Amino acid sequence: MMRLIALALPALFLAACSRAPAPVAATGGNDAVTAECRAEARNSPAVREAWRAQIPSNQTLEDRVRAEAAMAEANAFDDCLRRRGVRTGGGVERVRPSGWYW
C-alpha cells in the first residue's frame, strides 16, 4: 500500500503543477470573445513594439524578443478578456521563463 502511495504522489504533484490552462476557466466558454481577444492581442501596440527590436542575425536577442512578445501578447489577451467581463481582475503574475536576460 505504501509503495502505491509513493508511486502515485509524484504523478499527482506533477499533474497539479502543470502549466496548461483549462480552456473553460480561461475563456468562460465564450469562443467568439476569445477569438476576438486573441486577434486584438496579436495586433496590440506592445507586441508590435517588442517585435520592432528584433535583429535576425542575433540569436540571443531574437530569443529575448520572442519571449517579450509572448508576454506582451498574453497580457493584452488578459486585458481584453477583463474589459469584456469574461475574466475578473486579480490573480498572480504569469510565470516568466528563466534566462539571463530577464
Residues in the chain: 102
pLDDT value, residue 27: 46
- Split at pLDDT 50, 70, 90, the class of 8 is low
**pLDDT, tens digit, 9 for 90 and up, residues 25-68:** 444 557 888 999 999 999 999 999 999 988 878 877 888 888 88
50 is a domain residue: yes
* 3 part of a folded domain: no
Q: Give the separation between CA 31 and CA 66, rounded to whole angstroms.
A: 26
Question: What whole-number distance in Å separates Cα of residue 76 and Cα of residue 9?
Answer: 37
Give the per-residue pLDDT at 60: 78
Please say if the pLDDT value at position 84 is more than 70: yes
- Tell me, yes or no, if the pTM score tops 0.75: no
Per the structure, the count of domains in the chain is 1
Rounded to an integer, the average pLDDT of 21-27 is 44
Q: Is residue 9 part of a domain?
A: no
Residue 72 lies inside a defined structural domain of this protein: yes
Q: How far apart (Å, rounded) are the C-alpha atoms in residues 74 and 54? A: 19
Residue at 65 is within a domain: yes
Asked if the structure places residue 81 within a domain, the reply is: yes
Q: 59 lies in which domain range? A: 28-87
Is 53 inside a domain boundary?
yes
Whether 65 contacts 102, CB under 8 Å: no
Residues 6+ apart with CB under 8 A from 81: 26, 27, 28, 33, 34, 37, 87
Is residue 102 situated within a structural domain?
no
pLDDT at 80 over 80: yes
